[in-house]
């Protein structure tokens, strides 16, 4: 397997005769590391038929961008110097960070052209979420439904909140004639008229002959401790890992985005809420918090997969929501029993505890405590009033989620039987990271009990949040 560099890429790939297999990877890219053993295996098996190479894009960013490699990992097959992936009807790759290390692999799909899939609007890019860690097979589906109900409740009003939210369907995945279990096929979060409908600086401006500016570009940001995108920075006070999901090569534009985000945090830190709200959309931020807390998704603590966006000179907005397969809709009693069995203590919170109140950030390089900006936001009477007002609209609507749980549970009933045979619970007891899979407390339950637990947890959480939010002053 040949290691490529900026110096030899042209000779070994672009000017090479025949087929060349190139594995684009980067330092700190977890999916890349998970994929690499398989690449080496294929190199040994098929190395007599084509040249196998790898390029560390961390050391060759401009080269990678020139080859239209804007995310990782990417595998491309060149023939006589031309990448042939564009000619395929469909390509796929591993996706996810921690989840890509699990035996049941999540996949990203790219179609040759925009296509409607299972009633979802046309696009090239789709995700197959493995839900290996999710005993219910539907935590993402239920959470997406909650978010869509929240979005719809304020859509068309003078105070809209969350933007477009991803949709998905449970499917049976067959690879090369082999049934590999239940997967969740869903829309990937992307800037597009059929997804997050903001202005795309490349697709909508540059390709049409225009010049990208701070005013005519839209920006999709992710706050995530994996911190593995091309454009990234950490905020000054809360150390939040802010990244652009699209490569921004113009430093003027990227500095504009960074300064906008940092100025919000600075004003919140200083108690200048009026100034912060001139740049931050508090309706979307309030709605986003409701979804995270209602599902008990503690991963906005780190944070992981927390998306925000900005359209041109508009305010920074929260959403879309993502990533609910782990640590959501928990069975607290079972979790505590399991923890005690392993010699650990009970959880310090239950369904009556608002997660953001566990805030204990004291500074330094600790990304595991800030809960985004919510501890600061809840210090402001205006924000508390906004949450309370929007909750009063949402509470009746959110009571319908138990019907969603029943519907999705029934749809997956037969699938669960087969999925458990392919991916038995016993195989999921521990991950390579050393933590326990059975964190949500429903892993050892039969399927009917899983559905009952999710409904019970959700109902209890909904009522406890209703009490807590109505008690805000």
**Structural domains of the chain, ranges and CATH numbers in brackets:** 2-87 (3.40.30.10), 99-402+464-470 (no CATH)
Spatial distance between the Cα atoms of 195 and 233, rounded to a whole number of angstroms? 26
Spatial distance between the Cα atoms of 17 and 28, rounded to a whole number of angstroms? 32
Output the six-digit token pair for 116: 């409607």
Spatial distance between the Cα atoms of 157 and 327, rounded to a whole number of angstroms? 33
Cβ atoms of 277 and 285 within 8 Å: the answer is: no
* DSSP assignment of 21-59: EEEEE-TT-HHHHHHHHHHHHHHHHHTTTSEEEEEEGGG
User: What count of other Cβ atoms lies within 10 Å of the Cβ of residue 12?
Assistant: 19
Q: What is the DSSP letter of 345?
A: P
pLDDT truncated to tens, each residue of the chain (473 aa)?
Answer: 999 999 999 999 999 999 999 999 999 887 678 778 878 988 998 899 899 999 999 999 989 888 878 777 788 889 899 875 444 467 788 888 778 878 889 999 988 889 999 999 999 999 999 999 899 999 999 999 999 999 999 999 999 999 999 999 999 997 766 788 999 999 999 999 999 999 887 666 666 677 888 888 999 999 998 898 999 999 999 999 999 998 888 899 999 999 999 999 999 999 999 999 999 999 999 999 999 999 999 889 889 999 999 999 999 999 999 999 988 999 888 888 776 766 666 676 789 999 999 876 655 555 556 899 999 999 999 999 999 999 999 999 999 999 999 999 999 998 998 898 888 877 666 544 444 556 788 888 899 999 999 999 999 999 999 999 999 99
pLDDT at residue 213, as a whole number: 87
Spatial distance between the Cα atoms of 28 and 230, rounded to a whole number of angstroms? 12
pLDDT at residue 86, as a whole number: 46
Spatial distance between the Cα atoms of 84 and 143, rounded to a whole number of angstroms? 38
Give the long-range contacts of residues 154-157, CB within 8 A, separation 24 or more.
154/283, 154/287, 154/390, 154/393
């Amino acid at each position: 397997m040949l290691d490529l560099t900026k110096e030899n890429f042209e000779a070994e790939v672009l000017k090479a005769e025949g087929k060349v297999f190139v594995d684009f990877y980067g330092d700190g890219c977890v999916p890349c590391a998970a994929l690499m053993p398989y690449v080496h295996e294929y190199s040994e098996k098929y190395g007599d038929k084509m040249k196998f190479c790898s390029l560390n894009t961390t050391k060759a960013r401009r080269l990678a961008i020139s080859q239209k490699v804007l995310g990782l990992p990417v595998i491309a097959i060149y023939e006589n110097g031309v990448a042939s992936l564009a000619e395929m009807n469909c390509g796929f790759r591993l996706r996810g960070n921690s989840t890509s290390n699990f035996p049941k692999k999540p996949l990203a799909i790219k179609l040759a052209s925009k296509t409607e899939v299972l009633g979802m609007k046309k696009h090239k890019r789709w995700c197959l979420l493995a839900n290996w860690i999710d005993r219910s097979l539907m935590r993402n589906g239920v959470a997406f439904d909650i978010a869509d109900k929240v979005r719809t409740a304020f859509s068309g009003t003078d105070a809209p909140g969350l933007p477009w939210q991803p949709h998905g369907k449970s499917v049976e995945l067959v690879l090369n004639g082999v049934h590999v279990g239940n997967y969740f096929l869903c829309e990937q979060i992307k800037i597009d008229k059929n997804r997050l409908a903001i202005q795309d600086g490349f697709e909508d401006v540059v390709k049409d002959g225009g010049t990208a500016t701070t005013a005519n570009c839209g920006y999709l940001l992710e706050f995530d401790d994996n911190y593995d995108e091309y454009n990234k920075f950490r905020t000054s006070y809360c150390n939040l890992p802010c990244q652009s999901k699209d490569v921004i090569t113009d430093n003027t534009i990227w500095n504009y985005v960074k300064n906008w985000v940092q100025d919000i945090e600075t004003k919140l830190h200083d108690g200048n809420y009026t100034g912060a709200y001139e740049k931050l959309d508090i309706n979307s931020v309030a709605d986003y918090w409701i979804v995270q807390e209602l599902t008990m998704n503690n991963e906005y603590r780190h944070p992981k997969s927390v998306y925000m966006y900005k359209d041109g000179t508009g305010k920074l907005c929260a959403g879309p929501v993502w990533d609910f397969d782990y640590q959501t809709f928990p069975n607290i009693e079972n979790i505590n029993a399991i923890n005690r069995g392993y010699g650990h203590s009970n959880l310090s919170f239950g369904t009556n505890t608002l997660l953001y109140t566990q805030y204990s950030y004291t500074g330094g390089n600790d990304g595991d405590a800030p809960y985004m900006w919510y501890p600061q936001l809840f210090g402001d009477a205006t924000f508390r009033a906004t949450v309370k007002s929007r909750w009063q609209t949402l509470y009746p609507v959110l009571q319908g989620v138990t019907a969603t749980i029943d519907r999705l549970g029934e749809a997956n009933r037969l699938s669960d039987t087969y999925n458990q045979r392919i991916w038995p619970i016993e195989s999921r007891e521990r991950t390579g990271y050393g933590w326990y899979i059975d964190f949500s407390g429903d892993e050892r339950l039969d399927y009917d009990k899983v559905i009952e637990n999710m409904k019970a947890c959700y109902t209890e959480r909904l009522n406890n949040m209703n009490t807590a939010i109505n008690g805000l002053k």
